[in-house]
């Protein structure tokens, strides 16, 4: 049985991104032991907690209330209570407001730990078939056309593998931006990871546009961008 977290601990609890079998025993125990469970979407998290037979009633913690709720949570932690933080899916603190709470807890001298588990970034990276020795995660792709074009242009000389979260309604627009600026760059779109319809589509931007225009754009997606070609040692500059 995993040890109970020490009093006054904030635990970041990773939850499945699709397949409930990816929930770890330690994550379940961290939620069971917590005096307070914070969740981005309490309706979603209540279903998860119920599935694992947990009686905790999650309290909301999201972008719209983080500034109001954070001081109260830090006060609880300083009083010796254990708090668990979950996000809608995957690891809290990645492209969600969890970072705000973690920063405040650290500043207050509170112990912060993690019950690691599922996330979409690393599976997408290793399933892409692209180099994994150096990579960077850039969050969600920009929504505005000009910002998106500049973000793609900035990758022209980037030698690391780059990953983005992409919403379904943005995917074709993002691929069009790559087709315009980096038409030959290998890309991979990892979709519905760990779920029944998991797919990793690979190709140039134009090839992927044709694929998704034919099959439709559905599900949660990670875009993986192959780095620019690296010069071999000793090659002419």
Q: Classify each residue of 160-185 as buried b or exposed e, where b means 16 or more C-beta atoms within 10 Å of its C-beta.
A: bbbbbbbeeebbbebbbbbbebbeeb
Spatial distance between the Cα atoms of 173 and 143, rounded to a whole number of angstroms = 9
pLDDT digits (tens, 9 = 90+) for 148-185: 999 999 999 999 999 999 999 999 999 999 999 999 99
Half-sphere exposure (Cβ direction) of 142: Cα atoms closer than 13 Å: 13
Query: Which CATH class name applies to 121-225?
Result: alpha beta
pLDDT digits (tens, 9 = 90+) for 29-40: 999 999 999 999
User: What's the confidence (pLDDT) of residue 230?
Assistant: 75
User: What's the confidence (pLDDT) of residue 3?
Assistant: 63
Beta-bridged to residue 223, according to DSSP, are 164, 189
User: What's the confidence (pLDDT) of residue 30?
Assistant: 96
User: What's the confidence (pLDDT) of residue 189?
Assistant: 98
Spatial distance between the Cα atoms of 222 and 237, rounded to a whole number of angstroms = 34
Spatial distance between the Cα atoms of 15 and 3, rounded to a whole number of angstroms = 19
Q: Cβ atoms within 10 A of the Cβ of 133, count?
A: 7
- List the chain pLDDT tens, one digit each, 237 residues: 456 667 799 999 999 999 999 999 999 999 999 999 999 999 999 999 999 999 999 999 999 999 999 999 999 999 999 999 999 999 999 988 999 999 999 999 999 999 999 999 999 999 999 999 999 999 999 999 999 999 999 999 999 999 999 999 999 999 999 999 999 999 999 999 999 999 999 999 999 999 999 999 999 899 999 999 876 655 554
DSSP the chain: -PPPPPSSEEEEE-B-SS-GGG--HHHHHHHHH-SEEEESSHHHHHHHHHHTT----PEE-STTTHHHHHHHHHHHHHTT--EEEE-SSB-TTSSSTHHHHHHHHHHTT-EEEEE----SHHHHHHHHTS--SSEEEEEEPPSSHHHHHHHHHTTTT--SEEEEEE-GGGHHHHHHHHHHH-TT--EEEEESTTSTT-EEEEE-HHHHHHHHHHH---S-EEEEEPPPPPPPTT---
**pLDDT above 70 as % of the chain:** 95
Domain boundaries, the chain: 9-115, 121-225
Determine the CATH number of domain 9-115: 3.40.1010.10
Spatial distance between the Cα atoms of 25 and 93, rounded to a whole number of angstroms = 21
């Amino acid at each position: 049985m995993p040890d109970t977290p020490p009093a006054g601990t904030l635990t970041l609890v990773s939850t499945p991104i699709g397949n409930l079998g990816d929930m770890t025993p330690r994550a379940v125990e961290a939620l069971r032991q917590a005096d307070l469970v914070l969740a981005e979407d309490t309706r979603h998290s209540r279903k998860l907690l119920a599935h694992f037979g947990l009686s905790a009633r999650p309290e909301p913690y999201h972008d719209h209330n983080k500034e109001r709720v954070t001081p109260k949570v830090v006060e609880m932690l300083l009083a010796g209570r254990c708090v668990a933080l979950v996000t809608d899916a995957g690891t809290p603190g990645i492209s969600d407001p969890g970072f705000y709470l973690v920063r405040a807890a650290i500043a207050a001298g509170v112990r912060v730990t993690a019950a690691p588990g599922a996330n979409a970034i690393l599976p997408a990276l290793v399933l892409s078939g692209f180099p994994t020795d150096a990579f960077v995660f850039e969050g969600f792709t920009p929504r505005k056309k000009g910002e998106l074009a500049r973000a793609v242009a900035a990758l022209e000389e980037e030698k690391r593998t780059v990953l983005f979260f992409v919403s379904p309604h943005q995917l074709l627009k993002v691929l069009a931006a790559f087709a315009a600026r980096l038409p030959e760059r290998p890309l991979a779109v990892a979709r519905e990871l760990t779920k029944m319809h998991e797919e990793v589509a690979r190709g140039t931007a134009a090839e992927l546009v044709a694929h998704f225009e034919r099959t439709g754009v559905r599900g949660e997606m990670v875009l993986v961008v192959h780095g620019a070609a690296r010069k071999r040692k000793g090659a002419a500059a």
